[in-house]
Amino acid sequence: MKIGVIPSDVLIQECLNTFLKEQRINLSTYTNLEFIVKINNFLTTFPSNFACDYSWKRKGSQFKPVLYLHDINKIIRYNVPKNCFISKNPSNLDLFLK
Protein backbone atom coordinates (compact mmCIF):
# COMPACT_ATOMS: atom_id res chain seq x y z
CA MET A 1 0.00 0.00 0.00
CA LYS A 2 1.32 3.43 -0.93
CA ILE A 3 1.78 5.91 1.89
CA GLY A 4 -0.89 8.60 1.85
CA VAL A 5 -3.29 6.55 -0.26
CA ILE A 6 -6.68 6.16 1.37
CA PRO A 7 -7.72 2.51 1.28
CA SER A 8 -11.20 1.57 0.16
CA ASP A 9 -13.76 -0.30 2.24
CA VAL A 10 -13.05 -3.42 0.20
CA LEU A 11 -9.30 -3.17 0.75
CA ILE A 12 -9.76 -2.68 4.48
CA GLN A 13 -12.08 -5.69 4.64
CA GLU A 14 -9.64 -7.83 2.64
CA CYS A 15 -6.73 -6.74 4.82
CA LEU A 16 -8.72 -7.39 7.97
CA ASN A 17 -9.74 -10.86 6.81
CA THR A 18 -6.11 -11.62 6.00
CA PHE A 19 -5.03 -10.25 9.37
CA LEU A 20 -7.58 -12.42 11.20
CA LYS A 21 -6.39 -15.52 9.33
CA GLU A 22 -2.70 -14.76 9.89
CA GLN A 23 -3.30 -14.21 13.60
CA ARG A 24 -5.55 -17.29 13.72
CA ILE A 25 -8.27 -15.18 15.29
CA ASN A 26 -11.64 -16.87 15.65
CA LEU A 27 -13.97 -14.05 16.60
CA SER A 28 -16.30 -16.37 18.45
CA THR A 29 -13.56 -17.24 20.95
CA TYR A 30 -12.38 -13.71 21.73
CA THR A 31 -13.80 -11.33 24.29
CA ASN A 32 -14.73 -7.85 23.06
CA LEU A 33 -11.68 -6.40 24.81
CA GLU A 34 -9.31 -8.87 23.15
CA PHE A 35 -10.91 -8.15 19.80
CA ILE A 36 -10.64 -4.39 20.35
CA VAL A 37 -6.91 -4.75 20.98
CA LYS A 38 -6.45 -6.82 17.83
CA ILE A 39 -8.44 -4.37 15.70
CA ASN A 40 -6.61 -1.36 17.12
CA ASN A 41 -3.32 -3.00 16.18
CA PHE A 42 -4.67 -3.73 12.72
CA LEU A 43 -5.93 -0.18 12.14
CA THR A 44 -2.52 1.33 12.96
CA THR A 45 -1.21 -0.24 9.74
CA PHE A 46 -3.18 2.29 7.68
CA PRO A 47 -2.26 5.94 7.00
CA SER A 48 -3.64 8.26 9.65
CA ASN A 49 -5.81 10.06 7.09
CA PHE A 50 -7.60 6.91 5.88
CA ALA A 51 -10.75 7.79 7.80
CA CYS A 52 -11.56 10.97 5.90
CA ASP A 53 -13.82 9.09 3.47
CA TYR A 54 -15.91 7.63 6.28
CA SER A 55 -18.90 9.17 7.96
CA TRP A 56 -18.35 11.02 11.21
CA LYS A 57 -20.27 11.48 14.44
CA ARG A 58 -19.63 14.14 17.00
CA LYS A 59 -18.93 13.63 20.70
CA GLY A 60 -18.35 16.99 22.31
CA SER A 61 -15.37 18.48 20.51
CA GLN A 62 -14.22 15.09 19.23
CA PHE A 63 -15.13 13.52 15.91
CA LYS A 64 -15.04 9.78 15.34
CA PRO A 65 -15.03 7.99 12.00
CA VAL A 66 -17.50 5.17 11.57
CA LEU A 67 -15.89 2.17 9.91
CA TYR A 68 -18.15 -0.58 8.61
CA LEU A 69 -16.68 -4.05 8.24
CA HIS A 70 -19.67 -6.06 7.06
CA ASP A 71 -17.70 -9.19 6.22
CA ILE A 72 -17.15 -10.00 9.89
CA ASN A 73 -20.63 -8.99 11.02
CA LYS A 74 -19.22 -6.36 13.34
CA ILE A 75 -19.42 -2.59 13.29
CA ILE A 76 -16.39 -0.76 14.58
CA ARG A 77 -16.09 2.87 15.57
CA TYR A 78 -12.53 4.08 15.86
CA ASN A 79 -10.81 7.38 16.54
CA VAL A 80 -7.28 8.70 16.70
CA PRO A 81 -6.83 8.20 20.50
CA LYS A 82 -7.28 4.48 19.82
CA ASN A 83 -10.84 4.17 21.11
CA CYS A 84 -12.72 1.34 19.49
CA PHE A 85 -16.23 0.18 20.35
CA ILE A 86 -17.69 -3.00 18.88
CA SER A 87 -21.21 -4.29 18.71
CA LYS A 88 -23.40 -6.30 16.38
CA ASN A 89 -26.12 -3.73 17.08
CA PRO A 90 -25.34 -0.21 15.77
CA SER A 91 -27.73 1.39 18.26
CA ASN A 92 -25.57 0.10 21.11
CA LEU A 93 -22.61 1.98 19.67
CA ASP A 94 -24.53 5.24 19.61
CA LEU A 95 -24.44 5.21 23.42
CA PHE A 96 -20.68 5.76 23.27
CA LEU A 97 -21.10 8.81 21.06
CA LYS A 98 -23.67 10.76 23.10
Range of the structural domain that residue 31 is part of: 9-97
Three-class SS state of 48: coil
As beta bridge partners, residue 58 has 63
pLDDT for 22 equals 80
Burial, 77: exposed, middle or buried (Cβ in 10 Å; 0-12, 13-18, 19+)? buried
Within a domain: residue 4?
no
pLDDT for 52 equals 41
Angle at 55 between CA 54 and CA 56, to 5 degrees: 120
Q: Please tell me the pTM assigned to this model.
A: 0.38
Query: What is the number of residues in the chain?
Result: 98
Give me the number of domains the chain comprises: 1
pLDDT per residue as tens, the chain (98 positions): 444 444 555 565 566 667 777 877 665 566 656 665 666 666 666 665 554 433 333 344 444 444 444 434 444 544 444 344 444 455 555 554 44
